[in-house]
Structure 1
Amino acid sequence: MMSAVKKIVISEFMDEAAVDALRQRFDVRFDPALVDHPERLSAELADTHALIVRNRTQVSAALLDTAPALRVVGRLGVGLDNIDMLACAGRNVAVFPATGANAQAVAEYVITTSLMLLRGAYLRSADVAAGEWPRQALSNGREAAGSVLAVIGFGGIGQRVALLARGLGMTVVGHDPQLAEDAPCWREAGARCMALDAALELADVITLHVPLAEGTRNLLNDVRIGRLKRGAIVINTARGGTLDERALATALGEKRLGGAALDVFADEPLQHGSPLADAPNLILTPHVAGLTVQSNERVSSLVAERIAAALSG
């Protein structure tokens, strides 16, 4: 007797080619609007075997209770703070993140924003178009070569950032409590392992690549931000909540920092009235550092393959 076709629900956007590949073998309900309609999502999950999400769908214990047939969750990305891992484990639900598939995209974002903020010449186009000529004001930019980059969190993305930075002539230091000081990855990436505060205080550019957990919440707090080198640049593509946004905005406003780029926030979308709204020399992007045409194809394809294998086993 032929077994029933397994059902997959996709609650956020996914590359169409990967969705079509899944449709060849499974009953696929692809609706990126489901993330904003939890009642509809719960109803769809009543007879669903696999759920594919990005970072906005909250895979909580309560949501899992509405999905008695669920066997696997695919995460179109690497962060897992929107997924209750203990609840999944207790229900024998496997979780498959797209580890490594968006590392190049994030690393290029970090390097690009580092160069923009170090040079300081790219945010005055409107003034030049209006007939102003701020040549003297924009003549004091800094070169990346010879500067120090601190990579906080030295997993796959952090290592990729380090390799690109070394190609530009930057000195790279790093910190990761999960890695031994003599782990091969430090040498392979041309980086020096240091204690957190020592790395931060030495850096011209700081980039965060840590998950959001109790040990990393406000890792870059007001005290650490206050100790950063004057003119330092801060980049966060990891998770909102890993730095103190108010302290960062204050340091930017007082011109103690040279600039910052934030792709992630404690509350997403960024809330009205955020202290970041009026901070100078600040690049804000809507959680897209890991999203490019190529990375979306890689992430979607990887997750689709893992989901298909799990449901076929």
Structure 2
Amino acid sequence: MARIVITEFMDERAVDALRAKHDVLYDPKLVDAPARLHAEAAAADAIVVRNRTQVRGELLAALARCRVVGRLGVGLDNIDVPACEARGMKVIPATGANALSVAEYVIATAMMLLRGAYQATPEVVAGAWPRAALSNGREVGGKTLGLIGFGSIGQLTAKLAQGVGMSVIAYDAVMDSAHPAFAQAGVACVGLDDLVAQADVISLHVPLVDSTRNLFDARRIAAMKPGAVLVNSARGGVVDEAALAAALKSGHLGGAALDVFDAEPMPAGGVFMACPNLVLTPHIAGVSAESNERVSSLIAQRVLEELR
């Protein structure tokens, strides 16, 4: 019987599936107790994490007998994958399991920001009637969605966008126009600068690496269409937060939705204070009741397979 340590929240049915076969420590708050986490890690044959647990440095050194790292999500920037693999540890992300949740988040926030009518509840309840002020909202149908990154999440986002009448263009640094995914999805492959200039809504689906850090800096944000909307459900650090705040306050952008940030949790106050047309969420684009069940079930199954 192996020892499995789960450091962040996981669907209880998936935890029970692991408990039926192995000795499991499940503590969703373990990530916030580093000394105890490192002590528990020493006896772990497998560790299951989300995005906050940093599997590197001291924690990686403490995982002396670990054989598998299950990632409840798809991003791997919190895991030193080469170092894990060098120690014989298999790293398993939940590829594809949260794609629908992210895709729905992108389309929902884009529609909300384009329409601009969904933050009027306090005024209406107070007896105001801002009908004229809110009558210039824009429809999503006929707009162009630009996807930066065209993996499984980008492709599903394209499908949903087409379903509400958007045209879709995409750029992917590792996929050229001959890649079959573009033709299969009915999506035009374009260069990055062309995408930025043409899209009414831009959605980011890239990892945080050296080449994508501050990919959307002040210069690139300024190159976006006036009134365009930017959605980042990928990784904090891809967007220059100060530059984005300035573009919103100046009126150059029509709106933005951020689910990820340079620092998580984001410090109180900061550059986004008093920004108009802004939606901020705490890294939950890929987390819904359904996606948590899918992600957790997939990782539990794969961890059990690796521990046979």
TM-score by length of 2: 0.99
Shift of residue 47, structure 1, vs aligned partner: 1.2
State, as a whole percentage, how many aligned pairs show the same letter: 56
Does residue 102 of structure 2 align to residue 99 of structure 1?
no
- Which residue in the other structure is 2:164 paired with? 168
Check whether the contact 1:61–1:87 (CA below 8 A) recurs between aligned residues.
no
Q: Deviations over 1:203-244 (max 9, x none)?
A: 100000000000110111110001110000000000000010
Report if aligned partners of 1:15, 1:297 keep a CA contact under 8 Å in 2. yes
Per the alignment, in what secondary structure is the counterpart of residue 112 of structure 2?
helix
Distance 2:169 2:240 in 1: 22
Task: Work out which of the residue numbers 16, 19, 22 in structure 1 matches 2:18.
Answer: 22
Match of 1:309 in 2: 305
Q: Give the Cα–Cα distance (whole angstroms) in 2 for the partners of residues 278 and 95 of structure 1.
A: 41
CA distance in 2, matches of 1:192, 1:56: 35
CA positional deviation for 1:197: 1.0
State whether structure 2 residue 178 is matched by structure 1 residue 190.
no
> Structure 2: which 5+ runs fail to align?
none
Verify: 1:122 aligned to 2:122, yes or no.
Answer: no
- Separation in 1 of the partners of 2:242 and 2:268? 14
Within the candidate set 211, 220, 223, 1:227 is matched to 223
1:252 and 2:264 are equivalent in the alignment: no
User: Which AA in structure 1 matches 2:137?
Assistant: G
Aligned partner (choices 12, 25, 44) of residue 48 of structure 1: 44
Q: Match of 2:298, as an amino acid?
A: L
Deviation >3 Å, runs of 4+: none
Q: Does structure 2 conserve the Cα–Cα contact (< 8 Å) formed by 1:103 and 1:160?
A: yes
1:71-220 residue pairs with structure 2 within 5 A? Answer: 71-220=67-216
1:168-222 CA-to-partner distances (Å, cap 9, x unmatched) read 1111011001112111111122210011111011010000000000011011111
Moved more, 81-90 or 97-106: 81-90
SS at match of 2:146: strand
d(CA) in 2 for partners of 1:236, 1:218? 12
Deviations 1:47-92 (A, max 9, x none): 1100000000010132111111000100000000000112112211
State the alpha-carbon separation in 2 of the partners of residues 251 and 35 from structure 1. 35
Q: Aligned AA for 1:251? A: A
In the alignment, the residues of structure 1 paired with residue 276 and residue 225 of structure 2 have an alpha-carbon distance, to the nearest angstrom, of 18
CA RMSD, Structure 1 to Structure 2 (Å)? 0.7
Measure, in 2, the Cα distance between the counterparts of 1:279 and 1:188: 39
Task: Decide whether the 8 Å contact of 1:208 with 1:236 is kept in 2.
Answer: yes
Give the distance between the partners of 1:161 and 1:306, measured in 2 at CA: 26
Letter in 2 for 1:54: R
Cα deviations by residue, 1:253-309 (Å, 9 ceiling, x for unpaired): 011110001000010011123201321110010001011111000000000000000
TM-score between both structures, scaled by the size of structure 1: 0.97
User: Is residue 145–residue 199 contact of structure 2 (8 Å, CA) maintained in 1?
Assistant: yes
Contact 1:73 1:96 in 2 (8 A): yes
Determine if contact 1:166/1:190 at 8 Å carries over to the other structure. no
- Aligned counterpart for 1:60 among listed residues 51, 56, 74: 56
3-state SS of the aligned residue for 2:301?
helix
Displacement of 1:165 after TM fit? 0.5
Distance 2:56 2:7 in 1: 14
How many equivalent pairs are there? Answer: 308
Code of the residue aligned with 1:258 in structure 2: it is G
Corresponding residue number in structure 1 for 2:268: 272
The match for 1:282 is 278
Cα distance in 1 for residues equivalent to 2:273 and 2:25: 38
Once the two structures are TM-superposed, the CA of residue 46 in structure 1 deviates from its matched residue by 1.0
CA contact (8 A) 2:38 2:58 kept: no
Work out whether 1:37 is the aligned partner of 2:33: yes
Letter of the aligned partner of 1:197 in structure 2? D
Structure 1 segments unaligned to the other structure (5+ residues): none
